Chains A and B, each alone.
Chain A
Amino acid sequence: MKVTFTINGKPSSVEVSDGNSPLLWAIRDGLDLKGTKFGCGKAACGACTIHIDGHAIRSCSYPVKMAEGKTITTIEGLAETNHPVIQAWKEEIVPQCGYCQPGFMMATAAMLEQNPNPTDDDIDQNIINVCRCGTYYRIRKAIHKASEIQLKSSINESQ
């Protein structure tokens, strides 16, 4: 079956034999966008987090057939726009091994859309991805930094 969607602003489609196969496979192997990672395969760790129609989704547990007509953003899309989360992650030098970080960044970007100025509690409750290197402290700082960058940007745009 053919599944058509928009990914990182570009129309795209994949041909799959099994519509229930994970969207993650289509993104990584079909479209060669390797930034999104496979972690647990059970929607638990968050390494595969992407955005579908603006919401954080675990792509390892999202059947590719459901992506028909949807708007998808991956970490590559965030990078192309130099999203505040990308800037903040660089400034705070967050990653250690880096494997899980795209998922954290996508989860953070989704949260900031709904809550532009999150507290530490908001971060604890919303960002529940897993980092085996233990970069949580730097992630927290980067989330606050991203919030600052985003808020300043929106103020500048409104002036």
Chain B
Amino acid sequence: MKYSKSTILTMLCIVGILSIGVASMSGFSTSDTSETTASDDSSDDPFSKVMQVLTHKRCVNCHPAGDAPRQGEDSHIHYFDVARGEDGHGLEGYTCNTCHQDENNHYSGVPGAPHWGLAPRSMAWEGKTPVEIARQMMDPKRNGGRSHKDILEHLTEDALVLWAWNPGVDAEGNAREIPPVPKEEYIVAVKEWIEGGAIIPAQ
């Protein structure tokens, strides 16, 4: 109800929706995490493969630094003043599920996956380096008390995370970009990295 001229023009021209990223991180249990560092910056090691995915727009769009999701290939602020809300699933009368359902909608171009929503503020990845993201992700004080096992499951089994490899098409029918590492390769890399001690490079 507070549309500027430019916002309305944007709605008219770009109502194509919503390439939102992935990965809500809430509701976890115990932790057995402690940070370990090493100095491996190879781009082909498991850590780097994992981080090539986690820093991709399909993930970061819903791990924003602020209270608004980002969307699209250019990660612009989500149109229509969409906001985080108290639980990361939108506002009282206007939740994520008002538009986003459990699967992609190829008619409208609205993406969807189970429990569509934002990651908690403590798990904001936008603007952070891979090392910073990893430290944050493995820190039980910031990751909702998740253990290594919990993180492993979230990264490799959560339907919302894996949506990144099945992101559907936008309102114009254009396929959304998927992360640069194939899903199966990414899953193997996550397991190798975490089961190997979740060692985080020094930088």
Whether B15 contacts A111 by the Cβ 8 Å rule is no
Say yes or no: is A5 at the interface (Cβ < 8 Å to chain B): no
Select B8's contact among A63, A122, A130, A140, beta carbons within 8 Å: A130
Name the residue in A57, A110, A125, A140 with the highest tally of chain B Cβ atoms < 10 Å from its Cβ.
A125
Chain B residue numbers with a CB within 8 Å of A61 are: 99, 101, 105, 107-108, 110
Given A44-B17, A63-B105, A128:B92 Cβ within 8 A: no
Chain A residue numbers with a CB within 8 Å of B108 are: 22, 41-43, 60-61
Chain A residue numbers with a CB within 8 Å of B93 are: 56, 107-108, 110-115, 126-127
Question: Which residues of A from 48 to 62 have beta carbons under 8 Å from B?
Answer: 49, 55-58, 60-62
Say yes or no: is B41 at the interface (Cβ < 8 Å to chain A): no
Given A130-B11, A136-B1, A122:B92 Cβ within 8 A: yes
A32-74: contact bitstring with B at CB < 8 Å (1 yes, 0 no)? 0000000011111100010000011110111100100000000
Say yes or no: is B175 at the interface (Cβ < 8 Å to chain A): no
- Shortest CB-to-CB span from B32 to chain A, Å, is 38
Chain A residue numbers with a CB within 8 Å of B97 are: 55, 57
User: How many angstroms between the C-alpha atoms of A126 and B103 in the bound complex?
Assistant: 24
Say yes or no: is B171 at the interface (Cβ < 8 Å to chain A): yes
Say yes or no: is B106 at the interface (Cβ < 8 Å to chain A): yes
B54-80: contact bitstring with A at CB < 8 Å (1 yes, 0 no)? 000000000000000000000000011
A69-113: contact bitstring with B at CB < 8 Å (1 yes, 0 no)? 000000000000000000000000000000000000001101111
Q: Chain A: interface residue count, which band?
A: 35 or more
- Shortest CB-to-CB span from B158 to chain A, Å, is 20
Chain A residue numbers with a CB within 8 Å of B79 are: 44
- Shortest CB-to-CB span from B112 to chain A, Å, is 9
Whether B98 contacts A124 by the Cβ 8 Å rule is no
Select B101's contact among A62, A125, A136, beta carbons within 8 Å: A62
Say yes or no: is A13 at the interface (Cβ < 8 Å to chain B): no
Who on chain B is nearest to A18 by CB?
A: B107
- Shortest CB-to-CB span from B110 to chain A, Å, is 5
Chain A residue numbers with a CB within 8 Å of B91 are: 125-126
- Shortest CB-to-CB span from B173 to chain A, Å, is 12
Given A42-B108, A128-B1, A114:B92 Cβ within 8 A: yes
B4-36: contact bitstring with A at CB < 8 Å (1 yes, 0 no)? 000010010001111000000000000000000
User: How many angstroms between the C-alpha atoms of A21 and B17 in the bound complex?
Assistant: 18
- Shortest CB-to-CB span from A24 to chain B, Å, is 10
Question: Which residues of B from 104 to 119 have beta carbons under 8 Å from A?
Answer: 105-110
User: How many angstroms between the C-alpha atoms of A20 and B101 in the bound complex?
Assistant: 12
Whether A66 contacts B102 by the Cβ 8 Å rule is yes
Whether A125 contacts B105 by the Cβ 8 Å rule is no
A-B residue pairs, 6 tightest by C-beta: A111-B93, A114-B92, A61-B108, A44-B15, A43-B99, A126-B93
A-B contact pairs, 11 of them (CB 8 A): A40-B15, A43-B99, A43-B110, A55-B95, A57-B98, A58-B110, A61-B107, A111-B93, A112-B93, A126-B92, A130-B3
A-contacting residues of B (Cβ < 8 Å)?
Answer: 1-3, 8, 11, 15-18, 79-83, 91-95, 97-99, 101-103, 105-110, 171
Q: Given A61-B99, A66-B101, A108-B93, list of 10 further CB < 8 A pairs?
A: A42-B17, A43-B108, A44-B17, A58-B99, A61-B101, A110-B93, A111-B93, A126-B94, A127-B93, A128-B1
